[in-house]
Copies of this chain bind each other. A is one copy, B any other.
Amino acid sequence: MRLNRWPDLEALALLVTVSELGGVGRAARQHGISQPSASSRLRTLERRLGVQVLQRLPVGSRLTAEGQMVVDWARDVLGAADALMAGVTAMRRERGAALPVAASMTVAEYLVPGWLIGLRPIEPDVTVGLQVVNSARVAELVLGGEAELGFVEGPSLPVGLASRLVGRDRLVVVVAPGHPWARRRTPLRPRELAATPLIVREPGSGTRITFETVMERYGPLAEPLLELGSNSAVKVALASGAGPAVLSELAVGDELADGRLLAVPPEGVDLQRRLRAVWIEGRRLDGPARSLLTLATRSGAARRATGS
């Protein structure tokens, strides 16, 4: 038996259900499997984790203290998996979806899945089709009627489109804990930042464009240290100690929170950008599109209120 084997998502979901319903058999019924199957699965999970999570009683099963923690962590795992599935499902139905949506990468990656999960209970029968393209192409798709709703990042706002702010995002300069900048005492001057080779996203990405637009006035930018096609590729490069990178705060929130990455804010530079929902000007949004827009707007409002 291999060590450090991943637990089974189905088993984690089962455990969460047990914690909600208070019984193995009841949870089994809800998952559409037999009670012994559930029992054995949970036992396997316990063995794999090496921790007893359930206290079996004649009247049902309760969580142990460790089980409580496991369930809470499991909910995070399942939430992330749910986001993945929601995103993938939307991307799969690109054609013929009831609500075709186009979004730029950062919005699509970090915000859209959550909105889709939120949309599910409100509009259970609506299949959302998601196309992930750059902001310029989002505008084209919306204007061409191929997407009913679009989400863009960055400064430019095309004509013919109505828009609503759904949130703000801030680009951050980050380094790994081992990087010299992690210990720097002097503030980071914009000129120094401009002159430093950075790990950046590929040309044409919203992140890259925003950064270059803002930094323009601080002198010519140094050649990139590395150009990578996704946020997480940048993070991988960072983890291995390579130099500073510029990423969306949405992309590195977790890593900043637990110290795996450190922010080095450049002095006096505003790297905020607006995230906007766009649709054809004059068109009245209704039904699912309207619900989705409401959800998205609300999320932006929530984030502004907490100041994060």
Interface residues in chain A, defined as those with a beta carbon under 8 Å from any beta carbon in chain B: 2, 4-10, 13, 19-20, 32, 49-51, 65-66, 68-77, 79-81, 83-85, 87-89, 91-92, 105, 108-109, 111, 113-115, 117-118, 132, 172, 177, 229-233, 235-236, 249-250, 253-254, 256-263, 265, 295-296, 298-303, 305-308
A290 CB to nearest B CB, Å: 14
A257's closest neighbor in chain B, by CB? B303
Q: Say how many copies of this protein the assembly contains.
A: 2
Do residues A74 and B70 form an inter-chain contact, with CB atoms below 8 A? Answer: no
Do residues A262 and B49 form an inter-chain contact, with CB atoms below 8 A? Answer: no
Do residues B70 and A88 form an inter-chain contact, with CB atoms below 8 A? Answer: yes
Known contacts A76-B83, A80-B76, A92-B51; is-contact A302 B259 (Cβ 8 Å): yes
Residues of B within 8 A of A113 (CB): 73, 258
Do residues B4 and A85 form an inter-chain contact, with CB atoms below 8 A? Answer: yes
A43 CB to nearest B CB, Å: 16
| Most chain B CB within a 10 A radius of its CB, from A5, A74, A232, A303 | A232
Do residues A9 and B6 form an inter-chain contact, with CB atoms below 8 A? Answer: yes
Do residues A72 and B258 form an inter-chain contact, with CB atoms below 8 A? Answer: no
Residues of B within 8 A of A258 (CB): 111, 113-115, 117-118, 299
Q: What are 12 A-B pairs with beta-carbon distances under 8 A?
A: A50-B92, A51-B91, A51-B92, A69-B108, A69-B109, A72-B231, A73-B87, A79-B80, A111-B258, A117-B258, A118-B260, A259-B301
A174's closest neighbor in chain B, by CB? B302
- Interface of chain A, helix or strand or loop or mixed? helix
Residues of B within 8 A of A87 (CB): 69-70, 73
Residues of B within 8 A of A80 (CB): 73, 76-77, 79-80
Other-chain residue from B71, B118, B172 in contact with A232 (beta carbon distance below 8 A):
B71
Residues of B within 8 A of A8 (CB): 8-9
**Within the assembled complex, what's the spacing in Å between the Cα atoms of A55 and B117?**
29
**Within the assembled complex, what's the spacing in Å between the Cα atoms of A260 and B50?**
33
Other-chain residue from B50, B263, B298 in contact with A259 (beta carbon distance below 8 A):
B298
Not counting A69-B91, A261-B302, a sample of 13 additional A-B residue pairs whose C-beta atoms are within 8 angstroms of each other reads: A5-B10, A49-B88, A51-B92, A65-B132, A66-B88, A69-B87, A69-B132, A71-B230, A72-B230, A74-B84, A172-B306, A259-B299, A259-B301
A91's closest neighbor in chain B, by CB? B66
| Pairs A-B, 8 closest by C-beta atoms | A114-B258, A259-B299, A6-B9, A73-B84, A308-B308, A77-B80, A50-B92, A76-B80
Do residues A257 and B114 form an inter-chain contact, with CB atoms below 8 A? Answer: yes
A53's closest neighbor in chain B, by CB? B88
